[in-house]
Chains A and B, each alone.
Chain A
Amino acid sequence: MTPSPYWNPRTETLSRDALEALQLRKLRGLVDWTHASAPWQSAQLRKAGLESSDALRSLDDLRRIPFLERQDWMATQEEDPPYGAVLAAPPEAAIRYHTTSGTTGKRPLAVLDGPKDWEWIAEMWCYGFWAAGVRAPDSVFFAFSYGTFVGFWGAHYACEKLGCRVLPGGNMTTEARVRMIAEAEVTVVCSTPTYALRMAQEAEAKGVDLPGSAVRVLVLSGEPAGSIPATKALIEERWGAKAVDTAGMTELGTIFMFECSHQPGGPHIIEDHFVEEVVDPVTLEPVPDGELGERVVTSFGRGFIPVMRYRTRDMVVRVPASRCDCGRTFDIYDGGIRGRVDDMKVVRGTNVYPRAIEEIVRRNVGALEEFQVRLYTVDGIRDEIEVLVELAEGSQTTADGDLLQEVGRQLSEAHEGLRFGVRTAEPGSLPRFELKAKRLNDEREVWGGAGGERKTM
């Protein structure tokens, strides 16, 4: 029998009607489980008049379920630490404790999982690795710190499940990691996009030939850059390997989308385990396919914490599965995560997205080592934006004013004529990142004020 190109051939190729029927059935089961075991979420359902799953007659009825907001989850956790009132099972039943990475909010969210939840978390990653062409006897290296942040934990267990040889690269220097990748004949590397570039830089500096190594696939996660074409192309060039994007959330415990080896320009949504909606972040009304909106997720897998209609703040553009010729019927988020609702900055009336800046900077500056975007106020009244680019030491383009001018011109053109300053930074002066790069510093003052922090989104 020919091995299937799909991890789950029966669901990954379902017709839209059958897929929605499966989702409705699972949704009803989730609502029943919630009423039976999760009083906090159950109360929200009852407030909306959903006393039982009988009220859900079609998948459209999903919209009757109230949104779950992160601040509400956070509030219950603060009122009733450490987990809040969200658990559907006693903490003693859990075998794993994990937290969010702390990029939003005052403290990380803490989550628990039981044995079959943890297996399910790995199961979702299996969809992704399989679609990327990862198989036994691949050797998979994880450039990951293995802390309480859930990160690549599930991916590690997924690769064990696939029969791959797993190399856990926690607690290692970047140099030690790239040397191990080359010497141990690693074929698959998992990291954030930023750190994939960082490792490539380190390898070049230390004379380690990554493009000549056995690495053939990079599985990226943790940042939107895995689907930014210029960043992805750079990663693929520097590693001599194919890069695929994935994205997950600690709130779900795992990934909800994966890019297949056909690389259709964005990852497929794992639609047999999640329902993903895309809404206008202001009106909360659904937006049609092809338009930018906020993703809202309902998860069927993790029983410990029922998650229904969770507002993720991720901005996405959903397109039909037919965009890809891999045969899957799971729809695609074109361009992956396009940014965060709260990523957007308004500079002199123009919307600025860090992702758009990264795309232009990486496309143009070949010898780029790092970059930072800085927003600041001049004379207490005028907002300015500048991009600091750190070039590789000894780069011929260090003093190339024309190049910087051209980057500024393209940035301006992409932002309704907004003026961008672009200048070089001293070698080694900009921060490096292993996880979730933070490349935008908003140092603006309150308008008209003499200082202090600005209160904008």
Chain B
Amino acid sequence: MTEPEPTAAERELVDCYERLVAILREHGDDLAPFAHRNAVKAAAALWQVANDLGLQPGHLYDLGI
């Protein structure tokens, strides 16, 4: 028996996480403090979803996550 695949909804959450990370990587320096720090906090929370799904979302200390 293998691990179940993520559901469509779980996949969408992982997409959100990846999108957030991409925004922080591309525009992190341009964001206002309120946007930047809340995006980091949201990414840290969504990282848990990807991690709990066994997707190995990596370590993103360079982005402050």
> Cβ of B59 < 8 Å from any Cβ of A?
yes
Which B residues are in CB contact (< 8 Å) with A118?
44
- The contact string, 1 if C-beta is below 8 Å from chain B, for chain A 419-449, is 0000000000000000000000000000000
Q: Are B56 and A18 in contact (CB under 8 A)?
A: no
With A17-B1, A18-B3 known as contacts, the answer to whether A119 contacts B61 (CB < 8 A) is no
Of residues 1 through 41 on chain B, the ones whose CB sits less than 8 Å from some CB of chain A are 1-4, 40-41
Q: Are B48 and A119 in contact (CB under 8 A)?
A: yes
Q: Are A115 and B41 in contact (CB under 8 A)?
A: yes
Of residues 295 through 329 on chain A, the ones whose CB sits less than 8 Å from some CB of chain B are 301, 303-304
Which A residues are in CB contact (< 8 Å) with B45?
119
Interface size class of A (residues with CB under 8 A): 20 to 34
Q: Are A115 and B44 in contact (CB under 8 A)?
A: yes
> Cβ of A207 < 8 Å from any Cβ of B?
no
* Of A7-15, A148-156, A365-373, the one with at least 4 CB within 8 A of chain B: A7-15
- The contact string, 1 if C-beta is below 8 Å from chain A, for chain B 35-62, is 0000011011101100111101001111
> Cβ of A114 < 8 Å from any Cβ of B?
yes
Bound CA span A88–B59, Å: 10
Report B24 CB to chain A, min CB distance, Å: 11
> Cβ of A382 < 8 Å from any Cβ of B?
no
- Chain A interface main SS type: helix
Report B9 CB to chain A, min CB distance, Å: 11
Q: Are B54 and A22 in contact (CB under 8 A)?
A: yes
With beta carbons under 8 angstroms apart, the residue of A14, A15, A115 that contacts B65 is A115
Q: Are B2 and A21 in contact (CB under 8 A)?
A: yes
Bound CA span A90–B62, Å: 9
> Cβ of A289 < 8 Å from any Cβ of B?
no
Q: Are B61 and A303 in contact (CB under 8 A)?
A: yes
With A14-B3, A17-B1, A116-B60 known as contacts, the answer to whether A25 contacts B54 (CB < 8 A) is yes
Bound CA span A33–B51, Å: 15
Which A residues are in CB contact (< 8 Å) with B53?
10
Q: Are A15 and B1 in contact (CB under 8 A)?
A: yes
Interface centre among A14, A17, A33, A116, by most B CB within 10 Å?
Answer: A116
With A8-B52, A116-B44, A116-B47 known as contacts, the answer to whether A93 contacts B3 (CB < 8 A) is no
> Cβ of A81 < 8 Å from any Cβ of B?
no
> Cβ of A334 < 8 Å from any Cβ of B?
no
With beta carbons under 8 angstroms apart, the residue of B2, B43, B56 that contacts A116 is B43
Report A161 CB to chain B, min CB distance, Å: 8
Q: Are A272 and B59 in contact (CB under 8 A)?
A: no
Bound CA span A10–B62, Å: 30
Q: Are B59 and A303 in contact (CB under 8 A)?
A: yes
> Cβ of A274 < 8 Å from any Cβ of B?
no
| Closest residue of B by beta carbon distance from A93 | B61
Bound CA span A33–B59, Å: 8
Q: Are A115 and B59 in contact (CB under 8 A)?
A: no
Which B residues are in CB contact (< 8 Å) with A123?
48, 51-52
Of residues 1 through 32 on chain A, the ones whose CB sits less than 8 Å from some CB of chain B are 8, 10-11, 14-15, 17-18, 21-22, 25-26, 29
Top 6 A-B pairs, shortest CB-CB distance: A303-B59, A89-B61, A115-B44, A116-B44, A15-B1, A93-B61
B residues near A, CB below 8 A? 1-4, 40-41, 43-45, 47-48, 51-54, 56, 59-62, 64-65
Q: Given known contacts A29-B56, A93-B64, what 15 new A-B pairs fall within 8 Å (CB)? A: A11-B54, A14-B3, A18-B3, A22-B54, A25-B54, A25-B56, A89-B59, A89-B61, A115-B64, A116-B44, A119-B47, A120-B48, A123-B48, A123-B51, A272-B52
